[in-house]
Amino acid sequence: MRGFSLVELSIVLVILGLLTGGILSGQSLIRAAEIRKVTTTLQTYQGTMYTFRDKYFALPGDMKTATKFWGAANTAGTGGECADRANNAGTGTETCNGNGNGDIPLNDADALVNERFRFWQHLANAGLIEGNYTGLGSSEVTGTNIPRLLNGGITAQTLGNFVGAATVFPSNYGTALRMVDVGLTATEAWNIDTKIDDGKATTGRFIAGYRNAVTCVTSPDPLLAEYAVQDNGLCRGTILKTGL
């Protein structure tokens, strides 16, 4: 019985190296495809918002006449507004109306219309996006009341004079698409920003998000911050302004 020769061992090592390199290259290609899909998805959702507004003369979620088109969920108000944003469920397309003020608020407990989650339900009811969304809840549940995006999801809200600096740079963003725990690295966010905007972390339509340790950008100061591509930390709460 003899052992492997040096030539045979060398061949085995070469094969293992090729396999490892192929796996790593494959993972890189898959991730690149995922990032391209994020870019396309953001632009698609932005376009559907414009299409919805042009067709129904209102923002999805904020629409005051939604129940006339898709039926009313279990509501207490005569105007079709949801009285209980967590439990006013319907069957099929049944939904609730928004208040028609032109905003998609982050915290709408005063009106209890839950516009930021009805936003996605109205878009789906209109046939402009795929999926079924409940329009219910007090927080984001990926795949249930907001669409999936990479490792997380995407929500819509009006960030007028937004001061939540623990998540994004304070600014007046208007109605925007905000990514929720998507898992973009600083380099990936820079890549998307460069393709659809100006490549700068705090200006233009695509704005970097950060939290606590500020791992996505080089500074919490919006005048100094750049994408931290060298450290390549995670970007949380990244926002795309929609222009609405």
**130-184 pLDDT tens trace:** 999 998 887 889 999 999 999 899 999 888 766 655 567 777 888 899 988 888 9
pLDDT of 188 above 90: yes
φ, ψ of residue 82 in degrees (nearest 5)? -70, 130
| Cα end-to-end span (Å), the chain | 77
Taking phi over 0 as left and psi of -120 to 50 as alpha, with beta for the rest, 45 belongs to alpha
How many angstroms from the chain centroid is the CA of residue 242?
Answer: 12
What is the rounded CA–CA span in Å between residue 137 and residue 93? 17
User: In 3D, which of 140, 218, 220, 217 has the Cα closest to residue 182?
Assistant: 140
pLDDT of 48 above 80: yes
Amino acid at 226: E
What is the rounded CA–CA span in Å between residue 41 and residue 129? 10
What is the rounded CA–CA span in Å between residue 221 and residue 177? 22
Handedness of CA 65, 66, 71, 75 (dihedral sign): negative
**69-91 pLDDT tens trace:** 998 887 656 666 777 666 677 77
Q: Give the neighbor-by-neighbor strand order of the sheet with 239-241.
A: 148-149, 152-159, 174-180, 239-241, 206-207
